[in-house]
Chains A and B, each alone.
Chain A
Amino acid sequence: MNILSQHRSLELHRAAEFIRLHSMEAIGSCGAGHVGGVLSIAELTALLYQEVLRYDPKYPEDPARDRVVLSKGHCGPALYAALALAGFFPMEELLTLNQNGSSLPSHCNMHKTPGIDIGTGSLGQGASLAAGMALGLKKRSSASRVFLILGDGECNEGQVWEAVLFAAHQQLDNLIAYVDVNKQQLDGYTEDICSLGDLRSKFESFGWRAIQADGHNIDELHNATQEILRETGRPGIVIMDTVKGKGWSGVDGKPGVHHVPISSEQLEEARKEITHRIESLTAQLEGIHD
Chain B
Amino acid sequence: MGKDIRQVYTDTLLELAQTDDTICVLESDLMMATGTKAFKEAYPDRFFDVGVAEANMVGIASGLSSEGKIPFAASFGTFASRRTFDQFFLSANYARLNVKLVGTDPGITAQFNGGTHMPFEDVGMMRLIPDLVIIEPCDTVSCAALVRLAAKHQGSVYIRLHRKGSQTLYDERQQFELGRGQVLRDGTDVTLIASGFVMVPEALKAADLLKEEGIRAAVLDMHTIKPLDEELVLSFAQKTGAVVTCENHQVTGGLGGAVAELLGEQLPTLMGRIGSQDKFGQVGTLDYLLEAYQLRAEDIAEKARRILAKNS
Contacts and interface: CB of A to CB of B under 8 A. Distances in A.
Interface in A244-263: 256, 258
A256 B31 CA distance: 12
B29 interface: yes
Interface in A152-174: 153-154, 156-158
Interface in B61-90: 78-79, 82-83
A158 B53 contact: yes
A156 B53 contact: yes
A187 B115 CA distance: 23
Interface in B111-132: 112-117
Given A122-B78, A122-B116, A153 B83 contact: no
Interface residues of A, number: 31
Nearest to A74: B113
A264 interface: no
A207 interface: no
Overall SS of chain A's interface: loop
Contacts of B56: 158
B284 A101 contact: yes
A106 B29 contact: no
Interface string B253-291: 000000000000000000000000000001111001000
Contact of A153 (B52, B114, B288): B52
B112 to A, nearest CB: 5
B16 interface: no
A157 B33 CA distance: 19
A185 interface: yes
Given A100-B285, A187-B49, A121 B116 contact: yes
A102 B283 contact: yes
A119 B282 CA distance: 13
Given A105-B283, A107-B117, A186 B32 contact: yes
Nearest to A258: B32
Given A32-B112, A106-B114, A106-B283, A186 B30 contact: yes
A194 B51 contact: yes
A193 interface: yes
Nearest to A119: B116
Contacts of B284: 99-101
A28 interface: no
21 contacts: A32-B112, A73-B116, A99-B284, A100-B283, A100-B284, A100-B288, A101-B288, A102-B283, A105-B115, A107-B116, A154-B52, A156-B51, A156-B53, A158-B53, A158-B55, A185-B52, A187-B49, A193-B49, A194-B50, A194-B51, A194-B53
Interface of B: 27, 29-33, 49-53, 55-56, 78-79, 82-83, 112-117, 282-285, 288
